[in-house]
Amino acid sequence: MTIDKIIVVCNDDDGSVADICQEESVGISQYKPPKRNLLSEFWHANLWDDNDLIVRITADCPLLESQEIDSVVKSHIEKCADYSYNRCDDTENQEQGEGRDVEVFTGRALKTAYETATNDYDKEHCTPFFRKGDFLVNKTPTPKGIGLSLNTKEDYSKILEIINGYT
């Protein structure tokens, strides 16, 4: 699969992320709504049209493999979905696939969600709204493996060990 544009959506108070994005020729959108609203932040990045696919990868998944991204994008295209994801929905097995989250949605679906979502939770977390309502949702298999999400200092240490093991 080909990703032809990368846009970092963030609140970059000190400008450090913007500096890195500029060095790497990566777009950045720093729209800050008055109340935490990631759905609005994505909408205001506003650099796609209705037919574009948006691949959402969160910063707490630093070891996400490109094959997993390609797998979800390919499945999304094959199913002609509005929204595709690979996250585990089962609360008893939340750590399964942790750190390997990929979400794909169309610009048209994003526009619909932005214009119609009213629940604060849906707005704050960007994509839960897609799993409700009239969207064609494609749930791809949850990746297997150890949790690689970066949320704590312990996670950071574990990820550094993994990275250092490959160098």
Mean pLDDT over each residue of the chain, to the nearest integer: 84
**Dihedral-angle region of residue 156 (phi above 0 means left; psi in -120 to 50 means alpha; beta otherwise):** alpha
Residue 9, SS3?
A: strand
Q: Which pLDDT score, from 0 to 100, does residue 116 have?
A: 94
- Sheet containing strand 137-139, strands side by side: 53-56, 103-106, 83-85, 137-139
Domain 38-166: which CATH class? alpha beta
- Tell me which range, 13-17, 74-78, 84-88, 149-153, is most confidently predicted by mean pLDDT: 74-78
pLDDT at 4 over 80: no
More confident residue, 96 or 161: 161
The residues spanned by each domain of the chain are 38-166
Q: Tokens standing for 154? A: 């312990």
Q: How far apart are alpha carbons 165 and 22 in whole angstroms?
A: 30
The answer to which of 64-73, 126-135, 138-147 has the lowest mean pLDDT is: 138-147
